[in-house]
Structure 1
Amino acid sequence: MKKQQEEISHLKEQFAKLCTFTVSEDHSLLQQRVNDCVQLYEEAAQVTERRQESLSKLGDFLRIYADTLGVLQTLKETVVGAVSLDKDKSDALEKDINVVSQDIDKIAGVSAALDTALTKAQYNLKNSISEQRTSCRALSDNLSLELEKVQTLLGTKLSEAEVLEALWKSFIDCRERLLKTIEDIEEKADSEEMKEPALQAFQKRLTFFNELEEEINSYQHERQWLMDKAKQIAQKDLSLAAEADKELNGLNITWEDTKRLISESQEQCLALIELMKEYEHVKSFIMKVLETVENMITIKSTLKDQEEIRRTIAKHESAKNEITENQKELDEFTNKGKRLLVELKRIHGCDARPVKKDMDYFVDQWLDVR
């Protein structure tokens, strides 16, 4: 990456030199080529940084996972080996299970984010035994499965009421945690600002919403877990079924609203990217026409003879024809500019004045040479 950074610096220097002996209309294309190279470098640098960060977090995660799995195995052996459970023993076991349950909740809370970080870092986890691909979420699920086994074993020696109460508490805790997470994602999507109305800014904004989409999708497993638990609760106690459905419906409404907001924002970004490309293309054409016309109508300080006057008049007529023939391109330029302004005003915190000023300048230039 250090070598590539030096290459980028060299490329920028070469671009600056090229600009000194190339025509101005070529500068935009050269600048775009340089920007493409810089963007590729920045993306590679970002992946490298994400890899370093994700590996450190993964090491911590795996250590916590191994410790928690060991605790679960010890609890399982204790429950299986117990001939009978009095109140003191059952209370002690429930306390230990609650502690490890909280630890598993914390692990589950970071597993989705860590999987997202590993994906962005272009890393895949493999099971050391089966060599098949796995994930932090799958490891978290394995802990939850082992916890459920321990809870099931203990449940055979406790009343059904106690099991249902624990199930309901687990359902409500997970629902509140997930709802808070989705509301946070919705807030990020709703409050995202964009200051500069430029193509690169639109592309960066699209990347932001694509990452939000990945983030919310990473919590689909927890949403499905809640649905499954709601069914289990309904099977065990019909009186709680309606309340479980109410809690789940509130979550689903927030979930769908957030998904819709992200999707609409992605569509808006794609439309703006395409519209800005079209606007810049037509603007480039208008600039070339104006430059051609201005060269045609340049008048010398003195006209020596009638023939030179005649040629000057002919150039003016040609310039006028050039403007008339390309009037539809100016109309297209203003139409796309107006559409762009309308879309920019819909974006929170976006200043559309540079585009308005840019459009007015070229329209005034056009009218001046008519």
Structure 2
Amino acid sequence: MTSPKKKLLRNFAFLGPTRKTRHIHSPRVVGSRGESAFAIRDTFLPKYPEIKSLMKPDPNLIWIVIMMVLTQLAAFYLVKDLDWKWVIFWAYAFGSCINHSMTLAIHEVSHNSAFGHYKSMWNRWFGMFANLPIGVPYSISFKRYHMDHHRYLGADGIDVDIPTDFEGWFFCTTFRKFIWVILQPLFYAFRPLFINPKPITHLEIINTAVQLIFDVIIYYVLGIKSLVYMLAASLLGLGLHPISGHFIAEHYMFLKGHETYSYYGPLNLLTFNVGYHNEHHDFPNIPGKNLPLVRKIAAEYYDSLPHYNSWIRVLYDFVTDDTISPYSRMKRHQKGKVELD
């Protein structure tokens, strides 16, 4: 006979969390700074020394990004004379997948996975190149805020991945949560200005200038339809889209006591294994290509954790379950010294 605990985890892993496995998190759960990822690293590396060999750049990432940029350039050309309805159709059906995937390539590059830590500036320039088909400059800013997310996960006023109090208060019904999912890229873009504004750096200015020049070139050479296709692909791909399930799947507390979740479904093939999120937070220096090996090496640990096999199911459950909202995150009051980029 299967124990209730194993049955609960099995339902969560293969069917998505049911109402019986949910826990109400409103108002927001508040805790102190956790050190679990650091503790896991200290425990795992002596036990599984082969994990350390996975901490190396992924040169294939460079060629994949180049091919993705060239693919979108070809798409910009192909849509320039289409009817508007087909421009929007292909922006969602094709461009959205490329552009969302590219944001996750930039996530990889922010961890220096392309050229390694000893060539960190090469990664910054390459991130700007990867940024081009997205249309909006964000590669450099993302790196600055994403490092805070890893160092101070859930820290109040630091981790801008945490929704604002307004988001948690207002987007609390099925319809409003549906709108929130559609508008996610806008909230991710503007949330840092309210939670943790930072002074602009010279690299951010360069990132913005390069991106605007590229956008202007696309407009003058290919026309308004190509420009709209590019921007719509980003907006639609980061909103109500199957891949966008990872935004919610990663840290929303569908189960009490579990702050981070992995996803082991097929969309990892398009997202540089960002679904292996427990593994990523435990070992952020390991490129996405090698995260499945981390799980394989330490299977006794990772296989026992609740995980997802469907990002679409995550989106559906988030929108329809009235016990889950943007408030369903662990929020911490940071203690001690804080070092921000």
Greater length-normalized contact order (CA 8 Å, ≥ 6 residues apart)? 2
For the criterion TM > 0.5, the same-fold answer is no
Q: Which structure has the larger Rg?
A: 1
Scaled by the length of structure 2, the TM-score of the pair is 0.25
Scaled by the length of structure 1, the TM-score of the pair is 0.24
